[in-house]
Amino acid sequence: MESLIDVNVLATLALLIGLELVLGIDNILLISILSSRLPKQDQELARKLGLIMAFAARVLFVLAAGWITKLSTPVLMQFTYKDIILLVGGLFLLFKAVKEIHHTVEGSGKTEVSGIKTTLTSVVLQIVALDVVFSIDSVITAIGLTEHLWVIVTSVVASFLIVLFFAKPISQFIEGNPALKVLALSFLVCIGVTIFVEGLQQHVPKAYIYLPMGFALAVELLQMRMSTNLTRRPKN
């Protein structure tokens, strides 16, 4: 029986790490896009500060498990605090993603939009705020999957280290390929819509979102590979 329990705990740990890594993909895309608006010398610092502060917020959420579960109590008609946070966060993510798509398509390389300068502090605060929105649902899910606090904390730490390792190369790769950047922003639009819909208490299976996103990414990478091969091919 103890062996079976250990296997179940390890399986839950693996599942939670997988869920956190999926969330980490959202974070990497978000951090890549927001930090790209800063001067080159500030981008690395913004990525690290954003990830570290988001990680700290996630751990605090886990430690405050009792308070987090109370977010599911209705406070405004049938809406809970969690629903309200998801609604506001989803709309904000949609706004940011659509604005960045416009900025990217227009081809402006400035760090100012409508007279408002993008600063390191504003970028980090936006990263943390949106990560809080991403984290609430995942933490509540984790609490529902296991009562072992160390399992949840371990999954958060493991995924954080993986995301921290890949954040810079993925950010540089996205920034160096404008078409891929637009695709990443489109992903964020889909995620924003999903978060908003879940705030309306309508469950959206994550597979319906991430599988098409993965397929679109694979197609884009194939197109990039084909373009590279065509440019290398000698002309007759």
pLDDT tens string 162-171: 777 777 787 7
Is the pLDDT at 110 greater than 70? The verdict is: no
For residue 166, give Cα distances in angstroms to 32, 141, 170, 190, 202: 11, 25, 6, 22, 32
Residue 68 lies in a domain: yes
What does the pLDDT look like over 153-187, one tens digit per residue?
A: 888 788 778 777 777 787 777 777 777 778 888 88
Could you list the beta-strand ranges (E) of 45-138: 74-76, 79-80, 112-113, 116-117
This prediction's pTM: 0.72
* Residue 42 domain-assigned (yes or no): yes
Establish if 235 belongs to a structural domain.
no
Q: Which domain holds residue 131?
A: 2-225
**Is 66 buried (19+), middle (13-18) or exposed (0-12) by CB count in 10 A?**
exposed
Q: Is residue 188 part of a domain?
A: yes
163 neighbors 51 (Cβ within 8 angstroms): yes
Is residue 123 a part of any domain in this protein?
yes
234 in a structural domain: no
Question: What percentage of the chain reaches a pLDDT higher than 90?
Answer: 0
Residue 14, domain member (yes or no): yes
Task: Report residue 220 CA to chain centroid gap.
Answer: 20
Question: What distance lies between CA 1 and its chain's CA centroid?
Answer: 38
Count of structural domains within the chain: 1
